[in-house]
Amino acid sequence: MSRLAGRVAIVTGGAQGIGGATARRLALDGAHTIIVDLNEELGIQNVARIESDGGSAQLYLGDVTKEETATGMVAEAMSRHGRLDILVQNAFPVGEGTFGGGVTGIDLEDWRAAMSVLLDAVFLGAKHAVPAMQESGPAPGFDAVPYGEYGLHEGAPPPMEVGRIVNMSSVHGLLQASGVPAYDAGKAAVIGLTRQMAVEYGPTGITVNAIAPGHIITEKLQKLWEEMSNPAGYRLFELQYPVRRTGRPEDVANGVAFLCSSEASFITGVTLPIDGGHSVQLQENLVVEMKDFIQENAGLKTHFDEWGTDLRRR
Ligand SMILES: NC(=O)c1ccc[n+]([C@@H]2O[C@H](COP(=O)([O-])OP(=O)(O)OC[C@H]3O[C@@H](n4cnc5c(N)ncnc54)[C@H](O)[C@@H]3O)[C@@H](O)[C@H]2O)c1
């Protein structure tokens, strides 16, 4: 049997990119998947793709910064499908509007708008999903972890396998970059909130984890790199990764699916980097190792150039 059969999942920002691949992965693993997104056209396309691959999905149109979206998507799961097992909080408009220099270059309104999608949405989604998960109880077909097999136990087994929440952070939540104060602070806060919720809801059988992807070539980023039309600039990115490639949305989707499965019952509060080793390497060595490549490719260009990240300007 598929490992998520009988479960109901919500994936925010599931119309495209990482969320799109995650919605497909969870549906392929047997979960009925509710894609929550602002983009109706791409949402419908992803649902059709899932259905043509034999999965079950639907689109719930909504803006995750609004509380009515959080209540509505959870109500959709509970009233139409009778349960909620998985919440993947991934929505964020990548490439739109959070690049304003340091804190001196971003005004309060933009800061709040960024925090609203980066952090408020994660709070709101969890606030309304947790009671629904608790009401749903253990998912059907969950491979209950044997209790009493190891160690010394007293009393009834604790609630297990009740719900799974996976929040999308970033390597920007682990390592900080110049020019993106709201994004970096928001993604670090997602990790903090994930850890707090893991502690808070672990006793009720819900696990809460975060994922920190490296550079993932989504449909949008593929287009940006194609427009840049500078293969050496792209190679510069690949060379920064110990595995010598950037990521695919499926790489992240596979990690999410694992954290949502029975196999991950004893994993909570962690931030899983899915970054080809990017966040574990020593930076000063990397810079020195890349020196020759940079010197040999005088016309290097990346789309980061347009976001004003040339350190000589600061
Ligand atoms: N692509 C990367 O390299 C990368 C790296 C690290 C982390 N991430 C994180 O992964 C997540 C997904 O990134 P992506 O590159 O796939 O993004 P994307 O822009 O390709 O897709 C994001 C989806 O979210 C939806 N969305 C945006 N704002 C929304 C809102 N307010 N309400 C509902 N839906 C909304 C968009 O319509 C879109 O379908 C984000 O949280 C991002 O910060 C991405």
**pLDDT digit string, tens, across residues 27-58:** 999 999 999 999 999 999 999 999 999 999 99
- Residue type (1 letter), 241: Y
Domain ranges of the chain: 8-218+247-281
- The reported pLDDT for the residue numbered 143 is 63
**pLDDT digit string, tens, across residues 239-272:** 999 999 999 999 999 999 999 998 999 999 999 9
> Is residue 183 flagged as an active site residue?
yes
For the Cβ of 183 lying below 6 angstroms from any atom of ligand 1, the answer is no
As a whole number of Å, the CA-based R_g of the chain is: 20
- The reported pLDDT for the residue numbered 25 is 98
Average pLDDT over residues 7-28: 98
**pLDDT digit string, tens, across residues 119-135:** 999 999 999 999 999 99
HEC per residue, 67-135: HHHHHHHHHHHHHHHCCCCEEEECCCCCCCCCCCCCHHHCCHHHHHHHHHHHHHHHHHHHHHHHHHHHH
Confidence class for position 149, pLDDT limits 50, 70, 90: confident
Decide: 208 and 198 in contact? Cβ < 8 Å.
Answer: yes
Could you tell me whether strands 206-213 and 271-274 are parallel, antiparallel, or unpaired per DSSP bridges?
parallel
> Terminal CA-to-CA distance of the chain, rounded, Å?
57
Tokens 């990482």 sit on residue: 18
- Alpha carbon nearest to ligand 1 atom 38, residue: 13
For domain 8-218+247-281, give the fold. Answer: Rossmann fold (3.40.50)
Among 38, 60, 92, residue to substitute to test ligand 1 (most atoms within 8 Å of Cβ): 92
For the Cβ of 18 lying below 6 angstroms from any atom of ligand 1, the answer is yes
- For residue 86, the cross-strand partners are 9, 164
* pLDDT over 70 at 116, yes or no: yes
- pTM exceeding 0.85: yes
